[in-house]
Amino acid sequence: MPHNHNDHEHDENGNCMGHDHGHDHNHDDESINYPFHHHYEAQRLNETQAQTIHVDWPEYIFHFGQESVEEPYSPALFNFVKDEQSISWLYLEACLDEENDEEIILGLKAVDPDSGISVLGFEPFLDRILENGIHVLLNLPDHGEHAREHAGTILDELSRIWDEDCPTLVIASDSVNILDLAREIMPNQPRCWHVTQVQAENNFSDIDEVIKEMKPSGLIIESALCSEERMNTLLDYEVPVLVMTQDSQLEAKRLQTQGADCLISPFAHILADSL
């Protein structure tokens, strides 16, 4: 689906300043957005060979979905990011609400409103991302039997918003099927293979195929899986390695010494002081 470049406002330098709130979010009959139809499944990946899309990875990416200085996905946390000049990238997770598959949510389902904690919804969050020119590493995890269909809905929505003038958007997943889908729906966006502790055995067994067929722009791995031997194996693929860690400055330095190209952590202030 082509992008509508008129949905965006830009500054004098051409930078994307956010999408137009007049943009139709009612998902009428012309949209394949809600629910995700299998329009893209008819396309075959072998029609065009995947190409590696270069990403200028930073030294660290702020994990926005975990508790750090503020509640995850809260306006206060976003204000912290906006004010912290060293934070230019965010790691996020997105999925569909299991109870209402027309609602895209970030991370876990929004906190009980009775708690008084404010959580940014998908639309206002994207507005802030675009207005502030923040790059995004978006994980679409393989959760449940409808994970691929739900990922399709999210990707289709993003494809109508994101264009070449917007900040970098990288799609990550621990599912080959979801990465296939990302390539079909948003072929110009870089992709990353996500190795998780839960799916580690399957993720590692698929890694050769993923690198050959999908040409990922990065490999994401949790620090608990980062033995020196395993890091050396990953580095042999000559694909940037991004490591997720919640540990100390010492651990961050160890991971860098082992060859990590980028660290993903909810403790940006610690990483900023140590790198």
What are the φ/ψ torsions at residue 69 (nearest 5 degrees)? -85, -20
pTM of the model as a whole: 0.80
Ordered domains of the chain (ranges, CATH): 59-274 (3.20.20.190)
Residue 22 DSSP class: T
pLDDT in tens, 112-163: 556 656 678 888 899 999 999 999 999 999 877 888 999 999 999 999 999 9
Q: Residue 96 is which amino acid?
A: L
pLDDT in tens, 61-75: 999 887 666 788 888
Evaluate whether 187 touches 43 at the Cβ level (below 8 Å).
Answer: no
pLDDT per residue as tens, the chain (275 positions):
434 444 555 454 445 554 454 444 444 433 334 344 334 443 444 445 678 899 999 998 999 887 666 788 888 888 888 888 778 999 999 988 777 767 888 876 555 556 656 678 888 899 999 999 999 999 999 877 888 999 999 999 999 999 989 999 999 999 999 999 999 999 999 999 998 887 788 888 888 888 988 899 999 999 989 988 999 999 999 999 999 998 788 888 889 999 999 999 988 665 655 44
Q: What is the per-residue pLDDT for 42? A: 38
Q: What is the per-residue pLDDT for 189? A: 96
Residue 249 DSSP class: H
Q: How many CA atoms lie within 13 A of 38 on its CB side?
A: 5
d(CA 100, CA 14): 37
